[in-house]
Amino acid sequence: MIHPPDQPTALHAGGDNSIAFLIGVTADEWTLLILRHALQGVDSFDQWLELLPISPPVLSGRLRRMAELGIVAVSGDTYPLTRRGAALWPMIVTLAGWEKVWGDDHVEPLPRLRHLRCGADFTPLMACGACGEVAAARDVVGEFGPSGSWPRSAPSAATRRPAGGSANLGPSFFPQSRALIGNRWAAAMLSAAYLGATRFSQFHRQVGAPATVIADRLRVFREVGVLHAEGDQDRADRATFRLTDKGRAFFPVVMSGVEWSQRWYVAPEGPALEFQHRDHRFWMLLLCAECEKPLAGRDIEVG
Ligand SMILES: [Zn+2]
Ligand SMILES: [Zn+2]
């Protein structure tokens, strides 16, 4: 499959959908950390090596994978972001914004987000692109579209990141986000929660992971405080798991990723996920919480 950097990939009918690509690409802490620095202008192998506690083979594996997927170009020892790669800025900006508001254990400083149009350090605010209103996660309802189904949304061997070398940095740049989207099962579990799963059996059936993995993720999500349990607290199979405010506040990160993947990895049947806001189709507009103007990638400085 060819992933031209400046135009969308045409996916095969019936194969992995855009969500599988999203999870395959971004549900990996190293890739997110590489991207975070790339958006600040880092594009050389040695610079990443200096900035991140990553080994050369792991870094080169990640960059090779990102190049295959059209996210970076390869030019000698430099790997500049392509248009496809640069279009991931909303995901990194919403991730950093969520960590700033909800995270509390940063050893490394978070990236500082500055809006060049108003000059302020900002956090992003989600709005509905169709009607322009600021939208809370609970106002946006998602469901599977024509290419959406759980089996097609799970990354296959072809979509998944290279095995091994998973980041284990202790408290890091995105310490809490890592628990939510740092691996594919976590990302799939979180997506299931946004699509309405509340019971152990629903997570189990939809995500398709072993029961021990589901139980472990539910425990971690409760520890991080993005889900809380109602009912029989000691019996995961009887409890009802609901998103907390903190959990719902992470929705713009997932939405950013979903929009990116549906723009760049296009299934012939149509989108994998569709979202409604009130009576209309939702697409996400990010505003600067300080000046309330729409954010554009070129107007943001990640420092
Ligand atoms: Zn709207
Ligand atoms: Zn602003």
Give the pLDDT of residue 171: 40
Residues around ion ligand 2, judged by CB within 5 A, are: 115, 118, 288, 290-291
Residues ≥6 apart with Cβ < 8 Å to 234: none
Contact yes or no for 282/140 (Cβ under 8 A): yes
Strands (E), 236-291: 240-243, 265-266, 273-277, 280-281, 284-288
* Nearest ligand, measured from the Cα of 123: 2
* Between residues 33 and 173, the one the model is more confident about: 33
- Of all residues in the chain, what percent carry a pLDDT higher than 70? 91
Could you say which ligand is closest to the alpha carbon of residue 116?
Answer: 2
Q: Domains of the chain by range and CATH?
A: 9-18+87-162+174-302 (1.10.10.10)
- Left (φ > 0), alpha (ψ -120 to 50) or beta: where does 170 sit? left
Sorted by sequence, the CB contacts under 8 Å of residue 210 that are 6+ apart come out as none
**Minimum-distance ligand to the CA of 120?**
2
**Mean pLDDT of all residues in 24-37:** 88
pLDDT band at 4, cuts 50/70/90? confident
Give dist(CA 255, CA 214) in Å, integer: 22
The H or E element spanning position 128 is strand 124-128
Measured in angstroms, how far is the CA atom of residue 262 from the centroid of ligand 1? 19
Ligand 2 centroid to 278 CA: how many Å? 27
What confidence tier does 103 reach under pLDDT thresholds 50, 70, 90?
confident
Mean pLDDT in residue range 216-220: 92
Ligand nearest to the CA of 136: 1
Per the structure block, which two tokens stand in for 140? 């946006």
Q: Residue 170: which pLDDT band, with cuts at 50, 70 and 90?
A: very low
27 CA distance to ligand 2 centroid (A)?
29
Query: Crossing angle of helices 29-38/18-26, nearest 10°?
Result: 80
Give the DSSP per-residue string, 106-131: -SSPPPPEEETTT--B--EEEEETTT
Higher-confidence residue of 127 and 23: namely 127
What's the whole-number mean pLDDT along residues 157-170?
Answer: 53
Q: One-letter amino acid identity for 172? A: S
